[in-house]
């Protein structure tokens, strides 16, 4: 025969296990602090004919790179351009068509890296998670363009990581 405390204990244990399991399931979905979207990459090869590209290819600290690469991950956004790198630890909305993210821009033009606070503006052709292209601009806190607007194309997962070494 089962006593009242044994029945109460079993029900309490079952309820606690159910709540724990429900909590685990809820913490895996979108809306729990992350984007719910895996890494997304965009890139472009800059033309060698423009004065900025020629300068970047021959400027110390730029490594002759003529690519621009953007990587969006949960809780991190990174833009690599000739002579520079922008990094933000901000969460971003995968449904947005335009994002303004605060972060740090590090310029390597002229040799020694120089970092400053900056804002990255991302204008997507559709929602960020589905967009085939994005226009990126990096602005100083004073509003000056540190990186002129660039149009980057979405890369397949197999093409990610093809950027220049910086």
Interatomic CA distance for residues 96 and 133, integer angstroms: 13
User: Has residue 117 been placed in a domain?
Assistant: yes
Domain count across the chain? 1
Which residues constitute the domain of residue 107?
A: 40-156
Report yes or no on 103 lying in a domain. yes
Q: Does residue 102 belong to any structural domain of this protein?
A: yes
**Mean of pLDDT values over 4-25:** 62
Classify 155 as helix, strand or coil: strand
Which distant-in-sequence residues (6+ apart) come within 8 Å of 161 by Cβ?
41
- The answer to whether residue 98 is domain-embedded is yes
Query: Between the CA of residue 164 and those of 73, 93, 154, 160, 161, what are the distances in Å?
Result: 19, 27, 17, 12, 9
Residues 145 and 138: their CA atoms lie apart, in Å, by 6
6 domain-assigned: no
pLDDT for residue 41: 94
Q: Is residue 126 part of a domain?
A: yes
Gyration radius of the chain over CA positions = 23
Per the prediction, the chain carries an average pLDDT of 77
Contact indicator for 69, 42 with CB cutoff of 8 Å? yes
Write out pLDDT tens, residues 112-127: 788 999 999 999 999 9
Domain annotation covers residue 164: no
Tens digits of residue pLDDT in 53-87: 444 444 555 656 678 999 999 999 999 998 889 99
Within 8 A by CB and 6+ apart from 41, the residues are: 69, 70, 71, 72, 154, 155, 157, 159, 160, 161
């Amino acid at each position: 025969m089962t006593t009242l405390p044994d029945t109460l204990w079993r029900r309490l244990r079952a309820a606690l296990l159910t709540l724990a399991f429900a909590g685990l399931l809820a913490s895996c979905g979108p809306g729990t602090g992350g984007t719910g979207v895996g890494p997304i990459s965009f890139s472009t090869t800059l033309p060698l004919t423009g004065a900025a590209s020629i300068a970047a290819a021959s400027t110390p600290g730029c490594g002759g790179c003529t690519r621009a690469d953007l990587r969006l991950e949960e809780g991190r956004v990174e833009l690599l351009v000739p002579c520079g790198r922008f990094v933000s630890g901000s969460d971003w909305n995968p449904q947005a068509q335009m994002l303004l993210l605060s972060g740090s821009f590090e310029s390597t033009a002229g040799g020694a890296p120089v970092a400053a606070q900056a804002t990255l503006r991302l204008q997507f052709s559709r929602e960020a998670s589905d967009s085939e292209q994005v226009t990126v601009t990096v602005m100083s806190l004073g509003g000056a363009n540190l990186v002129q607007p660039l149009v980057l194309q979405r890369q397949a997962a197999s093409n990610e990581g093809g950027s220049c070494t910086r």
